[in-house]
Structure 1
Amino acid sequence: MLIRIISAFALSVFLTHTAVAEMSLKGVSVPDKVTFSGHTMVLNGAGVRSRFFVDAYVAALYLPEPSTDALGILGSGSPLDIRVTIISDLVTGERFAESALDGFVRSTHGDLGPIREQVDTMIKTFRSALKKGDTFDLVYNPDTGTEIYRNGELQVTVDGLEFRSAMAGIWLSDDPVQSSLRDDMLGL
């Protein structure tokens, strides 16, 4: 009997992991791993950002190893990728930039001072015209800083470990842009 229970548990863990590996959300394919600047990261979790009853984007978190420890992820200097894919025509560059700025304010509890210049640099990359299907990869590379890619093309690199923590905190902090999305990205 105990062997059947253990076998059933192992099978359920395997099937759960397989489902994550083949994830698709709102028509967006979410790969099980990504590689940037020589760092391969695995899918930790993904979810949909909704605002005012509109599904705005799909966000996925990639890490070197899966983790449910938000504080550990935020405090780490390890590589990470937060992939954001726009899924609504209602998301404009200006709205996306303002939402990101609000996320930084929440993540830092209103203390943007030490990273204000880096935040402004990132926000500028979001202000241009957006369309449904555009994808941003916010990749922390310990060798260079946070590399911001749009549709696979490097836009800018923003330095600083403090910036990395605040940027990831938009989704993972104790005051995230959406609690259910945080849980989904952490695989909870």
Structure 2
Amino acid sequence: MKTIFIFTFTVFSTLFSLGQTTEISNVTLQNYINVHGKKMELNGAGVRTKYFLPMYVSSLYLQDKSSNPNDVLYNVKHKVVQLDIISDFVTKERIEETVKEGFEYFRNSLEIDDEINMFLGVFKDEVVNGDKFQFVAEDTLCRIIKNNNELLVIDNINFQKALFSIWLGNKPINDDLKEEMLGK
């Protein structure tokens, strides 16, 4: 009887776990994550490449899936962009350069230079293959997490929108990646 119970439990556990993750470029993404008591669902993900080299897997988590970038940027109060570094080509200098490029569009219009400089400080330590960054938006807050350690919290909705616009805005870092993150 005990053997039947263990077998049944194993079968149901295996069936339940199927579909709980998504794999992209050898990175296993959870289909659901819990962020401060809120269940977030994987909306979409893709690989950021530069000079034909894969750099990182970028994924977007939302409470309710959406393919509308303006809705995600301006109406969704809780969202997560996760970057899983998948290349030795990514260094703190290269990621800092990429982030600066992404913010360039907003530097003068939103007056968020102080916040951008604080954010760039997150990359003072070396960035290596296997690192995971999460940018967590909660109302007006933006939490920056590296490898499950919260490094910085910025309370500025304009900074938050500019940060998420790097991937989802009108001038994203990569159009194909934007579409993949929006589940298109």
Q: Same fold (TM over 0.5)?
A: yes
Alignment correspondent of 1:160: 156
Matched residues in 2 for 1:84 and 1:152: separation? Answer: 12
The TM-score, its normalising length taken from structure 2, stands at: 0.85
Cα pair 1:92 1:129 within 8 Å, conserved: yes
**Structure possessing the higher radius of gyration over alpha carbons:** 2
Number of residue pairs matched by the alignment: 167
Matches within 5 A, 1:71-150: 71-106=70-105, 108=106, 110-111=107-108, 113-142=110-139, 145-150=141-146
Amino acid at match of 1:180: D
Q: Percent identity?
A: 29
- Aligned residue in 2 for 1:63: 62
**For 1:77 and 1:25, how far apart are their aligned partners in 2?**
25
Q: Which amino acid letter does the alignment assign opposite residue 171 of structure 1?
A: W
Superposition misfits of 4+ residues, deviation over 4 angstroms: none
Structure 1 contact 104–112 (Cα < 8 Å) conserved:
no
How far off its partner does 1:37 sit?
A: 2.0
Once residues 112 and 152 of structure 1 are traced to their aligned partners in structure 2, the CA distance between those partners, rounded to angstroms, is: 32
**Alignment check: 8 A CA contact 1:94 1:128 kept:** no
| Corresponding residue of 2:5 | none
Paired residue type of 2:113: R
Asked if the contact 2:137–2:143 (Cα under 8 Å) also holds between the matched residues in 1, the reply is: yes
2:96 maps to a residue whose letter is: A
Amino acid at match of 1:117: D
Residue 8 of structure 2: aligned partner: none
- Secondary structure at the aligned position of 1:183 is classed as helix
Aligned residue in 2 for 1:10 = none
Q: Give per-residue Cα distances to partners, 1:64-90, cap 9 Å, x unaligned.
A: 100001011111251110000100001
Match of 2:10 in 1: none
Do 1:37 and 1:141's aligned partners in 2 also have CA atoms closer than 8 Å? Answer: no
